[in-house]
Amino acid sequence: MNLRLAFSACLLTLLVACGAETPPANSVAASAGSPSAAATSAEPASQPEAGGLATPVPSAPAGPVIVYSSRQEHLIKPLFDRFTAETGIEVQFQTGEEGPLIARLQAEGEGTYADVLYTVDAGNLWMAAERGLLRPTQSALLEQNIPAHLRDPQGRWFGLSVRARTIAYSTERVDPAQLSTYEDLADPKWKGKLCLRTSKKVYNMSLVATLIDRLGDAEAEKVVRGWVANLAAPVFSSDLLIIDAIAAGQCDVGIINTYYLGQAQQQTPEVPVALFWANQQGAGVHVNVSGAGITTHAKNPEAALRLIEWLSTGEPQLMFSELNLEYPASPAVEPVELVRSWGEFKPDTINVDIAGRLQADAVKLMDRADYR
Amino acid sequence: MSADLPLTLPAKPASRPDYLLWKSLGFVLALLVSLPLLLIVAQWGALGSGEQDIWQHLLDTKLDRLAGNTLILLLGVGAGVTVLGVSLAWLCSMCEFPGRRLFEWALMLPLAIPGYVMAFVFLGTFNFAGPVQTALRAQFGNGVWFPDMQGPGAVMLVLSLVLYPYVYMLARAAFLAQSRSQMDAARILGLRPFNAFLRVALPGARPAIAAGVALALMETLADFGAVAVFNFDTFTTAIYGAWYGLFNLQVAAQLASLLLLFVALAMTLEQYGRRNARHVQEGRARVAGYALTGVRAAAASLLCVAVLGLAFVLPLVQLLLWTLGTVTREGIDPRFAEFLARSLALGAGAACVTVALALVLAMVRRLPGTAWTQRWQSLALRVATLGYALPGSVLAVGIMLLFTGIDRQLAARLGLQPMLVGGMVALVLAYVVRFLAVAHAPIDAGLQGIKPSVIEAARSLGAAPARVLSAVYIPLLRPGLITAALLVFVDVMKEMPATLILRPFGWDTLAVRIFQMTSEGQWERAALPGLILLLSGLIPVILLVKQSRRGASS
């Protein structure tokens, strides 16, 4: 009796689950509460859904743009919603980790639903481009809005927001006059005072990639070994834990992405941690990007290009800064107040694709130096 | 059928059909489940110079350390879950002490807590900047000693706390099923209770305990979330390092196949170790409990309170506090009902498929046949259950390789649109491959308790396999089947990496939601989906408790 019940329940669940599959996998709208089940399949000619919009957009390409993104939903959805409101082009997205998303894109090949790959770290974008997953694109608007060092020289991807990785220090125990460069953190004067995030995080791989480019393999390894020797605690699994550790007195200095300090300051305005702009006498602060490219097998490349172009313009650029306290990629746009309060800095202007080209070398170097 | 066979040999098909159809079905199903694993192993075919460089680099720098770390972790977690699981199971099933009736079921609750959630709550509470150490420093000054929260000990503790319920459940069922006469005989022969436990009860429960420990250890090998929170490098770390850091998926798959080989070896050794043991339960009379008094009773209660406090109350309270904070700031996302419904649907659907498959495979293996087919049947089953030790993302890659291959063939030959990658079938297959071992353990334990004579009687009365399955196996196995289904259900709901990569477009679940929040270390924001996941995971756990009680009282 009970078993029969369980069996029927099983059948029912399976039916429900299979029912969810009946529309082609790409047609479920990912955006919140979006009632549109506008089938996208591969047919190019269905009308855009936003019929109620006052301004018809004659040039709007048909069908939604489908985005594979490793960015968190709350950071991208407001942007996509705004884009849809302004252009009438619907945006659907699937979030996931960078590595698996790129592997999925590659596995899907010509059959992929994705029009746009949008991810953090130029290294990931570089690798997707290397594997032929992104198509070269010409866009005068993007070339004008995005500085050359923040995009692929062949136009396969474009940086859209800038993330600066610099030195954080305790305002209670460190005189900023003692600080100078990333390399200087390897000096024995910081012994037992440095906190770092794990070398498995791509941010640190990129930073070390620029060190290798600037100093050469041997010298960069010496720096990384110096960092490891100076560690006050085993490396952490997140930048926020580093800020906590500096505030709690476990260490005095660390290397973090700036927006994490912004998050900490939003929670606790008086947190006794401040930013120091590294390498201002030399190459400048290490920056990386979040960025996007159009997939090689995009079904809707025109709309995809419109989305990326739109993301490089004023309003959305400001939104990047508002949503995650990052820096706009476009120099014409000022970041929000909290971000401005950290002051101006000189960024490293080497092309960010160095993060990809030297990532494997950086990983190997950090392994050799026992930076975990 | 050569002519010189003695004619007295009974013609085989009449009394013993060789069940060709069933056996083939078993093979096909086992093969289907093993295919993604075999595709992972097949990546050894891609061993170019780039791959060789990376191998050389890994061997030169860290592979020995990571392998050592993994072994230490396995030993620690193995010891931890065995001690916790067996002692708690013994106390709660065989002894009487204050609170036993509550602890008996409450000790299963930690099953609902994903390892990665436990890890970040634990670290957040006990690390240097956390509330406990901060309070200690305020009280006793900066020099106060505290155990290292980023070393192997903390990781072992966290994993033991989330994984001991596997051992607890299986060991408890085994203790409850043990016949009274054996224990009585032991006592009459003058054994003290503890010695009777060591020499009679424990050996009798060994298959169940071993199955539980094996599950816990495979889960430990596959874990990436919890060890990543502590930044404790294991073999799995090397797999992800090769993939994400060095951009080489082939080496990642090659490393993963070594992991599979290791598990296969370990399981073979374990089977070999108890090759002659066979424990068929005769009676099911409940053994009278030992009434604990005084210090012993207090110690038993205290142990249960401590485990439950750390493994369940602590994460629950922390998640509640964080949820209150975020909900008052940001409100509740109305889509949570959707996320929950999807998590539940996936859990239930995958549980049904997995349990059905595990049942067929376990039963087919027990059909009489030649030594040759028996051996292959066992091997197929063993390979098919290896998936539990494979990190979810790597398994997902195996499934993508399989399905893109099929999709391409379909497109080339029949002109079909690709449909398998990114479809529900791929995701459910991933769950089946990953959790077949979880379903297999309780079913197999149940099968071992069925007297062969019962089955032989049914067969000799002419029942076909399907009839034996429906009229004998399923009714006798009911507790095991329900346990299997609920375990898979909970595990699927907690599963994150394979869900992330294989889910159909837009199919966000609670676990996906947690990932989206925690990928940047914002644990507080993940508290609400974490809490919902935990509470909805409690439903099957409570069902599990109820059904195990019924089993105990019958």
3-state class (DSSP) for residue A296: coil
Residues 359-398 of B with CB under 8 A from A: 393, 396-397
Q: Count CB-CB contacts under 10 A for residue B443.
A: 22
Backbone angles phi, psi at B416, to 5 degrees: -85, 150
Residue pair B115/B158 in contact (Cβ under 8 Å)? The answer is yes
* Cβ-Cβ contacts under 8 Å for B201 (sequence gap 6 or more): B90, B94, B175, B178, B183
Residue pair B283/B179 in contact (Cβ under 8 Å)? The answer is yes
**Contacts A–B by Cβ distance under 8 A:** 184
Residue B281 CA: distances (Å) to CA of A124, B205, B284: 58, 11, 7
The C-alpha atoms of residue A196 and residue A209 are separated, in whole angstroms, by 16
Asked if the C-beta of B62 comes within 8 angstroms of chain A's C-beta atoms, the answer is yes
For residue B531, give both structure tokens: 């809490």
For residue A53, give both structure tokens: 């919009």
What is the pLDDT confidence band of residue B430, given thresholds at 50, 70 and 90?
very high
The C-alpha atoms of residue A274 and residue A280 are separated, in whole angstroms, by 16
Asked if the C-beta of B155 comes within 8 angstroms of chain A's C-beta atoms, the answer is no
* Cβ-Cβ contacts under 8 Å for B285 (sequence gap 6 or more): B179, B180, B181
The residue ranking higher by pLDDT, B448 or B392, is: B392
Per-residue pLDDT reduced to its tens digit, B252-298: 999 999 989 988 888 888 777 666 555 555 545 555 567 888 898 99
What percent of chain B lies above the pLDDT cut of 70? Answer: 90
- Predicted local distance difference test score (pLDDT) of residue B520: 65
The C-alpha atoms of residue B107 and residue B308 are separated, in whole angstroms, by 6
Query: Which contacts of B243-248 are long-range, i.e. CB under 8 A and separated by 24 or more positions?
Result: B243/A99, B243/B393, B244/A98, B244/A99, B244/A200, B244/A202, B245/A200, B245/A202, B245/A205, B245/A359, B245/A360, B245/A363, B246/A359, B246/A360, B246/A363, B246/A364, B246/B54, B247/A127, B247/A359, B247/A360, B248/B50, B248/B51, B248/B54
DSSP of B276-293, one letter per residue? S--------PPPPPEEP-
Which alpha helices (H) appear in B9-151, and where do they start and end? 12-15, 20-41, 49-61, 63-94, 100-106, 115-126, 131-140
Sign (positive or negative) of CA dihedral B68, B72, B77, B78: positive
Which amino acid appears at position B323 of this protein? T
Exposed / middle / buried, residue A205 (Cβ in 10 Å: 0-12, 13-18, 19+): buried
The C-alpha atoms of residue B442 and residue B385 are separated, in whole angstroms, by 13
Select from A14, A94, A237 the Cβ nearest to the Cβ of B231.
A237
- Predicted local distance difference test score (pLDDT) of residue A90: 95
Query: Which residues of chain B make contact with A165, given a CB cutoff of 8 A?
Result: none
| Residue B455 pLDDT exceeds 90 | no
Q: What is this model's ipTM?
A: 0.84
Closest CA to B303 of B199, B170, B168: B168
The C-alpha atoms of residue B234 and residue B39 are separated, in whole angstroms, by 23
DSSP of A242-286, one letter per residue? HHHHHHHTS-SEEEEEHHHHHHHHHH-TT-SEEEE-TTTTTT-BE
| Residue B549 pLDDT exceeds 70 | no
Would you give the distance in Å from CA B537 to the centre of its chain?
15
What is the pLDDT confidence band of residue A324, given thresholds at 50, 70 and 90?
very high
Characterise B288 by phi-psi region: left (phi > 0), alpha (psi -120 to 50), beta (else). Answer: beta
What is the pLDDT confidence band of residue B172, given thresholds at 50, 70 and 90?
confident
Query: Which residues of chain B make contact with A16, given a CB cutoff of 8 A?
Result: 345, 349
Of A15-24, A269-278, B56-65, which range is least confident?
A15-24
- Predicted local distance difference test score (pLDDT) of residue A49: 36
Asked if the C-beta of A364 comes within 8 angstroms of chain B's C-beta atoms, the answer is yes
Angle at B504 between CA B501 and CA B509, to 5 degrees: 75
* Cβ-Cβ contacts under 8 Å for A113 (sequence gap 6 or more): A25, A26, A40, A66, A299, B422, B505
What is the pLDDT confidence band of residue A6, given thresholds at 50, 70 and 90?
low
Determine the distance in angstroms separating the CA of B304 from the nearest CA of chain A, rounded to an integer. Answer: 32
What is the pLDDT confidence band of residue A51, given thresholds at 50, 70 and 90?
very low
C-beta atoms of A245 and B128 within 8 A: yes
- Predicted local distance difference test score (pLDDT) of residue B1: 41
* Mean pLDDT of the region B232-258: 90
Per-residue pLDDT reduced to its tens digit, B398-411: 888 888 888 888 87
Of A92-106, A235-249, B516-530, which range is least confident?
B516-530
The C-alpha atoms of residue A173 and residue B330 are separated, in whole angstroms, by 35
* Mean pLDDT of the region B12-21: 59
Residue pair B90/B170 in contact (Cβ under 8 Å)? The answer is no
Which amino acid appears at position A132 of this protein? G
Select from B353, B423, B516 the Cβ nearest to the Cβ of A73.
B516
Asked if the C-beta of A42 comes within 8 angstroms of chain B's C-beta atoms, the answer is yes
Residue pair B274/B210 in contact (Cβ under 8 Å)? The answer is yes
* Mean pLDDT of the region A336-355: 96
C-beta atoms of A20 and B61 within 8 A: no
- Predicted local distance difference test score (pLDDT) of residue B213: 93
Exposed / middle / buried, residue B542 (Cβ in 10 Å: 0-12, 13-18, 19+): middle
Q: pTM for the full model?
A: 0.86
Would you give the distance in Å from CA A134 to the centre of its chain?
17
Of A59-63, A112-116, B390-394, which range is least confident?
A59-63
- Predicted local distance difference test score (pLDDT) of residue B278: 55
Select from B478, B485, B500 the Cβ nearest to the Cβ of A96.
B500
Query: Which residues of chain B make contact with A204, given a CB cutoff of 8 A?
Result: none
Backbone angles phi, psi at A113, to 5 degrees: -90, -15
Backbone angles phi, psi at B257, to 5 degrees: -70, -30
The C-alpha atoms of residue B515 and residue A120 are separated, in whole angstroms, by 16
The C-alpha atoms of residue A359 and residue B533 are separated, in whole angstroms, by 36
Per-residue pLDDT reduced to its tens digit, A204-227: 999 999 999 999 999 999 999 999
Closest CA to A89 of A361, A301, A231: A301
What are the beta bridge partners of residue A197?
Answer: A236
User: Quick one: closest CA in B to A112, which residue?
Assistant: B418
Characterise A121 by phi-psi region: left (phi > 0), alpha (psi -120 to 50), beta (else). Answer: left
Q: What is the mean pLDDT of chain A?
A: 86
| Residue A40 pLDDT exceeds 50 | no
Residue pair B168/B174 in contact (Cβ under 8 Å)? The answer is no
Per-residue pLDDT reduced to its tens digit, A139-169: 999 999 999 999 999 999 999 999 999 999 9
| Residue B200 pLDDT exceeds 90 | no
The continuous run of DSSP H or E covering B265 comes out as: helix B249-273
